Chain A
Amino acid sequence: MFRSAGSPARALLVAGREVHENVRTKTFWIGILSVPVLVILAIAVPILIEMGRGPRDLTVVDRSGWVLGAVEAEMTDADRSRFALVPPPEGDEAGVLAELNRRVVDGDLFAYFVVGADPVADGTVRYVSSNLTDEGPRRWFVDAASAAVRDRRLAQEEISAELAEWIQAPLEVEARTLGAAGEEEDVGVDDYARQWAPVAFVYLLWISIFAISQMLLTNTIEEKSNRIMEVLLSSLSPLELMAGKVLGIAATGLIMVLSWLAFAGVAVSLVPAAVTEQVGELGSVVTDPRYVLSFVVYFLLGYLFYAGLLVAVGSVCSTLKEAQGLQTPVVIVIMVPLLAMVPIAQDPNGLLARILSFIPPFTPFVMMNRAAGPPALWEYAVTTVLLVLAVAFVLWAAAKVFRVGVLMTGKPPRLGEMLRWVRAPVGGVADDD
Chain B
Amino acid sequence: MVADTVATRPESGWLRRTKDDMDDALFIDGVTKRFGPVLAVDDFSMRVPQGTICGFLGQNGAGKTTTLRMVMSILYPDSGTLRVLGRSPEAIKDRLGYLPEEKGLYKKMTAGEMLAYFARLKGMPGREARRRAHDLLSELGLGDWVGKRCEALSKGMGQKVQVLGTLIHEPDLVILDEPFSGLDPVNVEVMRELILRMRREGRTVIFSTHVMAQAEQLCDTIVLIHRGRKLIDGPLAEVKASGERGILLDYDGDGAVLENLPGVLRINDAGKQAELHLEENADPQAILERLVAARLTIRRFDLREPSLHEIFVRAVGGEAHV
Contacts and interface: CB of A to CB of B under 8 A. Distances in A.
8 closest Cβ pairs, A-B complex: A227-B104, A234-B98, A235-B121, A431-B88, A230-B100, A427-B76, A2-B123, A5-B123
A407 B74 contact: yes
A432 interface: yes
Interface in B64-100: 69, 72-74, 76-78, 81-82, 87-91, 93-94, 96-100
A169 B129 CA distance: 80
B188 interface: no
B120 interface: yes
7 contacts: A5-B120, A13-B120, A228-B103, A231-B98, A236-B121, A429-B73, A433-B87
B284 to A, nearest CB: 48
A10 B88 CA distance: 20
A235 to B, nearest CB: 4
Contacts of B271: none
B120 A233 contact: no
Contact of A2 (B107, B162, B169): B169
A14 B100 CA distance: 20
Interface string B6-19: 00000000000000
Interface in B8-50: none
A234 B93 contact: yes
A376 interface: no
Nearest to A10: B121
Contacts of B124: 2
B118 interface: yes
Nearest to B97: A234
Contact-residue bracket for chain B: 35 or more
Interface of B: 1, 69, 72-74, 76-78, 81-82, 87-91, 93-94, 96-100, 102-109, 117-118, 120-125, 162, 165, 169-170
Tell me what chain B mostly uses at the interface: helix, strand, loop, or mixed: loop
A133 interface: no
B100 A432 contact: no
A430 B87 CA distance: 10
A226 interface: yes
Contact of A226 (B78, B105, B125, B170): B105
Interface string A1-33: 111110000100110010001001100000000
B121 A432 contact: no
Contacts of B169: 1-2
Contact of B93 (A17, A21, A235, A409): A235
Mostly helix, strand, loop or mixed at chain A's interface?
loop
Contacts of A232: 121
A28 to B, nearest CB: 12
Contacts of A230: 69, 74, 98, 100, 102-103
Contact of A3 (B98, B103, B104, B123): B123
Contacts of A289: none
Nearest to B177: A230
Interface in A229-255: 230-237
A428 interface: yes
A275 to B, nearest CB: 46
B94 A234 contact: no
Given A4-B94, A5-B123, A429-B89, A231 B74 contact: no
Interface in A391-431: 407, 409, 426-431
Nearest to A235: B121
A24 B69 CA distance: 33
A235 B91 contact: no
Contacts of A1: 169-170
B103 A432 contact: no
A21 B109 CA distance: 8
Nearest to A241: B121
